[in-house]
Amino acid sequence: MLRELKKVVEESAKDPQEFQQTANYLVANQFVSAYKHGQRKHFLLVEMYQDYFSKLFDALGMKLYINENERLAGILPVQREAFVRLKTDETLLLLVLRQIYEEKIENFEVDNGFVTTNTHTILERFVQLVKREIPTETRFKEILTLFSRHGVIIRGKTYDEDSKNMMINITPVVRLIVTEAYLRQLESFNGSDPDDDDLDAGSSSEVNVSDDVTSTEQNTTPDSGVISEQDATENNVEHQVIEEDENQ
């Protein structure tokens, strides 16, 4: 790939480090959005030089994904070995996020592919759909950190009237992570024995997560969706450039 890098650098008159930094950023974070703070330059470079990055990641066993309408780019594993299994609570919360996302889309409550909700709404929906106790506060923060690292969500600030309620922006990545078949597991799981810690073993529920991004612990669901190894009203958020609250 050094020949291709040299060629694209000569044609673009850009510093080769720009291409290296963007490639490393994608491997580490999996997705980049033109609307998220600090990621716009990476998205624009990938968008402009799609052919180079496509060949680069193809050589690494990954597929380049670009959605110019939603200003989103990322990489998805191709080999089955790159798929990671999520824990049950991670899987169920991911399914809840996808359902909330689809409902917002149907109601046209979307801005540049992002929909806005908050942690209270997510946990209320979790109890409603899954019929389980919510994760502990510490565990919930761990899961949100995992989803944020893969670009599924962008955490916002807490509300003034309730410091434990945080604004959450669900990104279009959730559609890549959670397939339709995966989403249907939530319906089959609804009403199951709360002590049963497994999803339907007959369903496909692998999560497409690149091993370079993260590695999850054991005690997982059987095969999980698609992650590669990233005004105090619910919808009042601007998506020019979204900056995640680093204090969360």
Phi, psi of 64 (to 5 degrees): -80, 135
Mean pLDDT of 171-193: 70
Band of pLDDT at residue 12, cut at 50, 70 and 90: confident
**Which residue spans within 22-120 are E strands per DSSP?**
31-33, 62-67, 72-77, 115-118
The pLDDT value given to residue 81: 45
The secondary structure of residue 24, as a DSSP letter, is: H
Decide if pLDDT at 238 tops 80.
no
The pLDDT value given to residue 227: 45
More confident residue, 216 or 109: 109
| Short-list 109, 121, 223, 204, CA closest to 168 | 121
pLDDT in tens, 145-174: 999 888 899 998 999 899 899 999 999 889
Range with lowest mean pLDDT among 122-136, 141-155, 198-212: 198-212
Report the C-alpha gap between 36 and 71 in whole angstroms. 10
Structure tokens at 38: 């600090």
Mean pLDDT of 117-122: 96
Amino acid at 218: Q
Range with lowest mean pLDDT among 40-44, 131-135, 218-222: 218-222
Phi, psi of 147 (to 5 degrees): -65, -35
Structure tokens at 228: 């590669």
Q: With pLDDT > 90 as the criterion, what percentage of the chain qualifies?
A: 38
The pLDDT value given to residue 193: 47
Q: How far is CA 92 from CA 88, 123, 186, in A?
A: 6, 11, 7
Decide if pLDDT at 89 tops 50.
yes
DSSP-derived pairing of the beta strands 153-159 and 115-118: unpaired
Decide if pLDDT at 36 tops 90.
no
Whether the model pTM is above 0.85 = no
Decide if pLDDT at 236 tops 50.
no
Average pLDDT, the chain: 76
Decide if pLDDT at 209 tops 70.
no
Q: For residue 176, how many C-alpha atoms fall within 13 Å in the half-sphere facing its CB?
A: 29
Band of pLDDT at residue 189, cut at 50, 70 and 90: low
The pLDDT value given to residue 210: 52
Decide if pLDDT at 112 tops 90.
no
The pLDDT value given to residue 29: 85
